[in-house]
Chain A
Amino acid sequence: MRAWLTDRAIDVAELLAAVAADGNGGTVVFLGTVRRSAEDGDIEAIEYSAYREMAEPELERIVAEALAQWPGARIVLQHRLGVVPTGEASLVIAASAPHRADAYAASRFLIEETKRRAPIWKKDRFASGGTRWVEGRPAGGER
């Protein structure tokens, strides 16, 4: 399996090790991190939920598509669920390839397709105690 959901903090070193290969000279690691911003207010965490039985196979399909497009790449992707505090990663993608251009391209494809297709939702949790569903985008919509 190359794509997982997890309820715990993501171990980046473990993912890097999983894509290491003697023939792969470029490795790109992408972290999606919970952030605070003026427009969103005083967010202290985001609560992620998913259609678990579908999300993992869908993420796995996205990885398979990337591997078909960039032969020689090695890829792992982990998405965290549950309450993720500000500053911690909700998503980590590690992609290695023989050359950097392919590693960058695969990484970009993976994050964009994940955001477009993974049946995952989030709810902002504010320091004040309030919560708010984040209005996402229609699943499978335009790239």
Chain B
Amino acid sequence: MPEIRVRLFASYAEAAGTDELRVTLPAGATAADCLAAVRAAPWAARVPPGPALAVNRRYARGDVVLQDGDEVAVIPPVAGG
């Protein structure tokens, strides 16, 4: 049962009231499964179905299989520059 560190930023962190969550998922779970778990929370109404995701600090697709201790970031629309 991989335990995942979920990072939240900007408006998502503000909506959640925290910038970090711990999520435990079944073995073989993917980044998309992790996102689904995060989006199930009431605060997550503002998180769209398909936000950009990063796994271990690199952009990743939803079908990446997660390992215990992985870090998944839900990346809001970016506005750097």
Contacts and interface: CB of A to CB of B under 8 A. Distances in A.
B73 to A, nearest CB: 6
A116 interface: yes
B78 interface: yes
A140 B79 contact: no
Given A119-B75, A121-B9, A51 B54 contact: yes
B78 A119 contact: yes
A54 B80 contact: no
B81 interface: yes
Contact of A119 (B9, B14, B81): B9
B39 interface: no
Interface of A: 32, 48-51, 53-55, 57-58, 79, 90-91, 111, 114-123, 133-140
